[in-house]
Structure 1
């Protein structure tokens, strides 16, 4: 069977562009002064379609600079990991062993924080600092304050500007790490929380009072991770080392690094569905520690992305995109079942979670007005293949904007028209790919009506990827 994540707009682009004065249809609002950035997998060298996982492609960051009603430039750059630098015939950049494993260029998210542009990834790999023009500076460990890798999904507290995150890595054993990065770009707090094993914890939720952990049945698979180790006689030692890393046994860094190099030949994804692993969520007070986590059972499923979360008098409300199963029969990408928008209401008094379906249409990449992150929200946005959804959680109604056959859209991010604008008084920004034109555009939509405000035409297509953000000038 052919791999769908190597075809169509999943196929990589081969060129890095630097283009100025992009064509614009419509009018870019004058208050938009910054960069729209998007990250995603884009292999820099030839791949084996049978072994390739979408999650393992080299990172490529795309950026569009908007200012004074103009689209000043478009750039796309590979994140220069050692693998990418070798593939492009470039000198290797200085390494930072404290920043995490240099397995691949950070390929999942891109943010601005404390004056830095950061390309992010998870699972113990290093995140990378970029220049404003998206060239690679090097691996980042937040000025030496947070060693060992980070996450793809930090959340910025809208009141303090701090970045909260939950990071996982099979080498941490049966723990994940909650961290708080201050507005100055340095870690000010870390908490190690024990979980059921070695789960893939792609995202988490944050409320004004709590941190929520998703301990769900997709876990590190030692046999899968070592399936293509060469020579074959190294597979059993590799499995033993990785098994020890997952547990509590300490393995010397040089040995674990060597095993990482052996297993890198396997481009397949090393996490998979584990039906024996209980599905649960943990709720910890922001100021709490490991002993303060309360665990609640949920039905077997996987959550890549929550929409938002907020506190109630008796618990926490979690709006999430729920996958019934992933990485069971297909490790190339999340393709097993249609993800839906669900609400989980955690009841502290009863010690249980009520699960309900909010929208049964296939969708992913949910976003909310970031000013309301961790607070009660009314609106949320998500996307299907060619459709944008605007969910009104107060009325229960959903508005849609279809972009038509042959078009695909990615995640849309919300930027308010002013600091005190209403919750849907702003601009939605996202990429649309046209199969007919073999090109992508940046769409600016009115968040209230979903009508087009402006279209920024790009010189090439942006392959289907993961996450992006609007980074205002000075952020």
Structure 2
């Protein structure tokens, strides 16, 4: 593992794709009641299906230099209750850029870092729902109707920043996060209580200042990602909106940090080659003492196009991390282009049988299908959404608290290019072929990043 950053000149620099088609922003905040439905919404679904993504609020002066990761955040939500789709709302996440452009009262709360790009995820942490991002953004508290209410540093207990990818332990309800800011050669491991305060914080030295987008969580460990996309001072000095570069000389490793341990307790394990991972699936402690973690694995990142993360597609892999040999072995689970692995979150940190990803036949234009991986049998069920239909991240919702692992609903926002509108499609995880309900939104929902089901 080297500790120096080497700028690698990208082959292309063109972000204009992410301002066209269904990547293009929408300009109006909309509220619509009593949505049309084909099929029948399961009566047990009572809550909101929320998602977040970039939606520039002002015209982009130079589309070639636009970076998708930096667009203004916009949250979308559909509220379900009693077998009905009661409303759809979209709201800008009201950071300083939105307030400067559209006015409105200032947002309460502490000020540090930046708040223009809380565009990556929206989820429940403790008792509240937040729009969240990484690299310096404070979480932004949202109301039930998706209005931005306040900036939060968890009552002054938060470390330097927060993350877009925390993990909630289903046994304790606590939220685990690995966070970073570009200014420091470190990450931080933070554990947030159900009351919304940080009770455990560990500084993790990370020379080279890598981008740390996700983590793994088992019953024993937080899994730290140290991958070869690192901060570039030269890119920052030149004014790049995202000053990170592909840096294969940095190496690639994962660290096993005991959940109650300190930085000196981390067991660093080298990965074969120099892969990059944005998103991990589930992770668990195997009986032989290894840690197993599923990932959407890239051969490189920001290598062919600095402004496009999807030029070189990810494949679905399993890593087996050995703390004794300090090595990682890889197994390709599926060779199709795919991303956004999800699973039954009642099994976070445990040996889940099923994982769900979305797949593509034409990256980076969009994701065309849904894959259900049976990790025990080594089989994959798939469904293609059909001509002109492009899906976003799929969320699994169990049919009841004690339902079997795949007894539940797979829910996704799906773009219909023939109408330039969006549907929310609900399928049963045991029968991918036929949707049980399709909720018709009268508007377009741009491709974005992440979302979650927030039960009432």
TM bracket (short chain): over 0.9
Structure 1 match to 2:451: 468
TM-score, structure 1 normalization: 0.89
Aligned with residue 118 of structure 1, among 114, 130, 135: 130
Structure 1 match to 2:320: 345
Tell me how far 1:221 sits from its aligned partner.
Answer: 1.2
Unaligned stretches of 5+ residues in structure 1: 229-265
Superposed CA deviations along residues 337-358 of structure 1, whole A, max 9, x for unmatched, are: 1200001111223331111111
**Contact 2:354/2:374 (CA < 8 Å) preserved in 1?**
yes
Tell me how far 1:471 sits from its aligned partner.
Answer: 0.4
SS class of match (2:278): coil
SS class of match (2:448): coil
Structure 1 match to 2:295: 320
Alpha-carbon distance in structure 1 between the residues aligned to 2:72 and 2:268? 36
**Contact 1:126/1:148 (CA < 8 Å) preserved in 2?**
no
Structure 2 match to 1:76: 90
**Contact 1:175/1:195 (CA < 8 Å) preserved in 2?**
yes
Structure 2 match to 1:50: 64
- Does residue 1:305 correspond to 2:279, yes or no? yes
**Contact 2:15/2:67 (CA < 8 Å) preserved in 1?**
no
Structure 2 match to 1:289: 262
Tell me how far 1:90 sits from its aligned partner.
Answer: 3.4
Aligned with residue 393 of structure 2, among 408, 411, 436: 411
Structure 1 match to 2:75: 61
**Contact 1:44/1:88 (CA < 8 Å) preserved in 2?**
no
SS class of match (1:303): strand
Alpha-carbon distance in structure 2 between the residues aligned to 1:25 and 1:335? 33
- Does residue 1:421 correspond to 2:395, yes or no? no
Superposed CA deviations along residues 230-281 of structure 1, whole A, max 9, x for unmatched, are: xxxxxxxxxxxxxxxxxxxxxxxxxxxxxxxxxxxx5x32112112211111
Structure 2 match to 1:34: 47
Structure 2 match to 1:233: none
Structure 1 match to 2:229: 218
Tell me how far 1:387 sits from its aligned partner.
Answer: 0.4
Alpha-carbon distance in structure 2 between the residues aligned to 1:466 and 1:2? 16
Superposed CA deviations along residues 41-80 of structure 1, whole A, max 9, x for unmatched, are: 0000011211110000000000111011111110000011
Tell me how far 1:314 sits from its aligned partner.
Answer: 2.2
- Does residue 1:11 correspond to 2:24, yes or no? yes
Structure 1 match to 2:348: 373
Instruction: Report how many residues are paired.
Output: 432
**Contact 1:64/1:75 (CA < 8 Å) preserved in 2?**
yes
Question: Residues 95, 45 of structure 1: CA spacing in aligned structure 2 closer, same or farther, 3 A cutoff?
Answer: farther
Tell me how far 1:95 sits from its aligned partner.
Answer: 5.5
Question: Residues 276, 2 of structure 1: CA spacing in aligned structure 2 closer, same or farther, 3 A cutoff?
Answer: closer
**Contact 1:314/1:347 (CA < 8 Å) preserved in 2?**
yes
SS class of match (1:350): coil
TM-score, structure 2 normalization: 0.92
Structure 2 counterparts to residues 203-214 of structure 1, below 5 A: 203-214=214-225
Moved over 3 A (4+): 89-92
**Contact 1:367/1:381 (CA < 8 Å) preserved in 2?**
yes
Unaligned stretches of 5+ residues in structure 2: 1-13, 360-366
